Chain A
């Protein structure tokens, strides 16, 4: 049973379109991380959100942490082929920082 549920599992869009990935849980996290992973490589950290209601922007990517610190979303504006990859959310608890709870991931494909 996945503690963190990501949706959708797969997303295929055209270059220039927008997309949103959701990450939901019944647990409260001390922090939540978003990663992007490409085939054969390790996940790359995109952002960490800590405060309920927090919004962080990274160029065309916008990350939001829910008020109750149970859910998060990732929004990409004007997607580009370079945004293709597996997007993973991961929650952490204060007493076990190194033990991230990962969602199953959302595979995003952006075609030119």
Chain B
């Protein structure tokens, strides 16, 4: 069974730009969650989608948004990038009725 796939793996942007990250969950998983990981803050929850609906949202500004498609694939978007948005962005999928989440390898975003 293929794991969670995230693209791109690495990207470099400049302040003010926007970025879109993509996530393909494990086949059959309807829940997709996004996390931001930084050395100072650790892993922080961004949002969760289940059957195309946002089910939970973390404490991030409105510049961070996401969506889920009918095939459960998900994208997250960050607009007006700031230096502090540099981080590893992780996508995780699950069945939606347990805490067992399976993570992708992440997208490493560097904002210059």
Contacts and interface: CB of A to CB of B under 8 A. Distances in A.
Interface of A: 2, 29-33, 35, 40-45, 48, 88, 90-92, 96-105
Interface of B is mostly: strand
Given A97-B94, A100-B33, A102-B42, A45 B100 contact: yes
A44 B100 CA distance: 11
A108 to B, nearest CB: 16
Nearest to B32: A98
Contacts of A42: 4, 6, 90, 92, 103-106
A97 B103 contact: no
Nearest to B3: A42
Contacts of A100: 33, 35, 43, 45, 92, 99, 101
Contacts, number: 82
Given A42-B92, A98-B33, 10 more contacts: A91-B99, A92-B98, A97-B31, A97-B48, A98-B31, A98-B50, A99-B45, A101-B45, A102-B35, A104-B42
